[in-house]
Structure 1
């Protein structure tokens, strides 16, 4: 079974424009993200848009030795479907590029569970019931499931949010498996990049605490020890589906 990681990225983010191209510790957040994913040993594909604004994303992915698929900005589902077909994947790990500190071992654990069951009807994630910090999220599912969603989904919200159709139209044979964080409930922490306050926290973690080399448990331990770091972005509300 060929499983690949598809990460979506674009420069036209609304809350913090070109956020993945901003830098911390001498690298862009996108470079940090791709470096972390490379540690899984899985093929990585950046699914970006055909917009000229995303040329830098294509260049940075190429420099990292990462494959790129370019498609529609708003129809992200079709972007994923195209990346699946072009790279002949049987299984997909979906992540987003606003997670510069995503833990490769966390992703690998999910992939191991998916492989072990060898079931096209299985959906594995670590955020169905959130215990991980935001910024560690992944979803794993069969390529066949997503290609069927691409063929069937018509609502704009389903085309934009990739797996929304899978959740809302799943049949009785689709099994959901949630893998929790071993360290308890760390869901209050935001290690994701969506606003300037998120950027301030991530930059501090990378430049002052060596976060680029730390795993999820280490990062949570830092956040627990330094409540002033949590205070930097604890007020940020996550965007809702469709916003």
Structure 2
């Protein structure tokens, strides 16, 4: 199977404009993400897909590969679908540009679910990690996911799911990590479907798959680092980098 990693990278982020060009140590956030993805050695190709000349130049000037988006896009999946439409690929992994602490093991676990007889049924997969801190469980910037016994997603939400009504029960909360793997055709199908009501309400693009009846296989990872959504996240990431 041909496996490629695409890193969608918008410059004008709503909550933290220009976050991908913020310095984290001696490199920008997007450069950390790109170089760490390449360093896993898992992919036949790694490409940053961006709407920004600044981000494009940052990657290319430092020896990386980047493509400019032709059209405006509402989601990262739409952005990478445009980029891979004419590429030869079986599995496409969407690594978010604001995930500078990319590691090999979680991405390998993500790719492995497409192998074997059971893997032939998987169309889309994504990562999650256990979320324990109450302030993060309540924080709408942290997307939560509930899963069934087969580790397929039941629902994604910015609210705390499940709601902890019975205090005698200790539910497990999972944070959805915005790293996806798709069979190429599943990704192309996604871009042909109109935005759905849950997706529009929550601003969580993977809800479109659930509303169209496509299961998302979820893989638990122990550690994926810090997603840079706010200036506070950047400070936490700088401490982790040390």
TM-score by length of 1: 0.68
- Aligned mates of 1:24, 1:133 — CA distance in 2: 26
- Aligned mates of 2:39, 2:33 — CA distance in 1: 10
Asked if 2 retains the 8 angstrom alpha-carbon contact of 1:33 and 1:97, the reply is yes
Structure with the higher helix share, 1 or 2: 1
- The residue aligned with 1:7 is 7
Aligned-CA RMSD value: 3.0
- The residue aligned with 1:126 is 127
> SS state of the match for residue 198, structure 1?
helix
Asked if 2 retains the 8 angstrom alpha-carbon contact of 1:48 and 1:71, the reply is no
Asked if 2 retains the 8 angstrom alpha-carbon contact of 1:6 and 1:45, the reply is yes
Cα deviation, residue 69, structure 1 = 4.1
Asked if 2 retains the 8 angstrom alpha-carbon contact of 1:46 and 1:67, the reply is yes
1:193 to 228, 239, 242: 228
Residues 1:46 and 2:48 are matched in the alignment: yes
Greater RCO (Cα-Cα under 8 Å, separation 6 or more): 2
- The residue aligned with 2:91 is 91
- Aligned mates of 1:68, 1:162 — CA distance in 2: 22
- The residue aligned with 1:142 is 183
Asked if 1 retains the 8 angstrom alpha-carbon contact of 2:34 and 2:48, the reply is no
Cα deviation, residue 135, structure 1 = 9.0
Cα deviation, residue 134, structure 1 = 6.1
Deviations 1:19-77 (A, max 9, x none): 1101122111111111110122211121212xxxx112111222332242413343334
> SS state of the match for residue 95, structure 2?
strand
Asked if 1 retains the 8 angstrom alpha-carbon contact of 2:46 and 2:65, the reply is yes
Residues 1:166 and 2:209 are matched in the alignment: yes
Cα deviation, residue 169, structure 1 = 0.5
- The residue aligned with 1:74 is 73
> SS state of the match for residue 194, structure 1?
coil
Asked if 1 retains the 8 angstrom alpha-carbon contact of 2:209 and 2:215, the reply is no
- Aligned mates of 1:199, 1:108 — CA distance in 2: 26
Deviations 1:113-141 (A, max 9, x none): 22345526432222255989969542112
- The residue aligned with 1:177 is 217
1:136 and 1:151, CA in 2 relative to 1: closer, same or farther beyond 3 A?
A: closer
- Aligned mates of 1:190, 1:116 — CA distance in 2: 29
Asked if 2 retains the 8 angstrom alpha-carbon contact of 1:133 and 1:191, the reply is no
Structure with the higher strand share, 1 or 2: 2
- Aligned mates of 1:199, 1:29 — CA distance in 2: 9
1:134 and 1:94, CA in 2 relative to 1: closer, same or farther beyond 3 A?
A: same
> SS state of the match for residue 5, structure 2?
strand
TM-score by length of 2: 0.68
Cα deviation, residue 104, structure 1 = 2.4
